[in-house]
Amino acid sequence: MLCLSCGHDEQSLGPACSDCGSYVGYVADGRGYLPQLKVLEVGLAEGRITPEESEQRLQRLTGALEALVGYMDECGQGLMTLQWDNVQQGTLGGFMMPIREGLDSLRAAVDQLDSHGEWGDELWAELDAAQTKVHQANEGLTVLTQTLAGYAVEQGVDLEKVFDPPESEVEPEAANAE
């Protein structure tokens, strides 16, 4: 999870950033970036965080959410290379779309946050609803992808190659090095 304080891509499960020590929350609790946003709101109210620093953190979060949406799109495209039929592709899309929609909703709610704080209960409810949607959809997608991975292996699919770039996108120098 991205630390909104320093921008470090924190790989631990929490609760603190290994670079700057800021609270990032617990990855496994399903609350995503909401704990960091709560710390930000309190820090603004107490004057420990400036509006400029708040703006920078909110921009980091928007960038992280946009990257997650982009990653979802890339994964969907990679999985489509498995040449499944329309029913299988529809099922996969049915599991992936709620996560993408939740991430978009979360980003839209973050875009409403004022860098001066005082976000209010209504906006917090919107943030919480979007994060809950992401969390619930992610649980469903986890089960589906585990099932699909097992099926793909049974069919002889090399999962390592599913997300590799097409050979036409590999740079000539890299292809010659092999």
- Position 33 scores a pLDDT of 92
Can you spell out the DSSP letters for the chain? -B-TTT--B--SSSSB-TTT--B---GGGS-TTHHHHHHHHHHHHHTSS-HHHHHHHHHHHHHHHHHHHHHHHHHHHHHHTT---HHHHHHHHHHHHHHHHHHHHHHHHHHT--TT---HHHHHHHHHHHHHHHHHHHHHHHHHHHHHHHHHHHTT--HHHHTSPPGGGS-HHHHHH-
The tally of CA atoms less than 13 A away on the side-chain side of residue 123 is: 16
Average pLDDT, the chain: 85
Residue 42 forms part of a structural domain:
no
Neighbours of 61 (CB within 10 A): 22
31, two tokens: 């609350």
104-134 pLDDT, tens digit each: 999 999 999 999 988 999 999 999 999 999 8
Instruction: For residues 89 and 92, give the distance between their C-alpha atoms in angstroms, rounded to a whole number.
Output: 5
pLDDT band at 171 (very low <50, low <70, confident <90, very high): low
Q: Is residue 169 part of a domain?
A: yes
Domain tally, the chain: 1
Domain assignment of residue 10, yes or no:
no
- Among 47, 143, 54, 129, which residue's Cα sits nearest to residue 95? 143
- With a threshold of 0.85, does the pTM exceed it? no
178: pLDDT strictly greater than 60: no
Query: How far is it, in rounded angstroms, from Cα 178 to Cα 85?
Result: 34
Express each pLDDT in 28-39 by its tens digit: 788 889 999 999
33 inside domain: no
Q: Mean pLDDT across the stretch 15-36?
A: 89
Cα–Cα distance between 71 and 105 in angstroms, integer?
A: 16
The CATH number given to whatever domain includes residue 58 is 1.20.120
In a domain, 8, yes or no: no
pLDDT value for 169: 53
Enclosing domain of residue 109: 50-177
- Asked if residue 164 belongs to a domain, the reply is yes
Q: Is residue 29 part of a domain?
A: no
Residue 140 in domain: yes
Residue 98 pLDDT level (bands cut at 50, 70, 90): confident
Question: Which residues touch 26 (CB under 8 Å, ≥6 apart)?
Answer: 13, 14, 15, 35
pLDDT tens-digit readout, 61-87: 999 999 989 888 887 777 777 777 888
**Residue that is written with structure tokens 């793909």 in the block:** 152
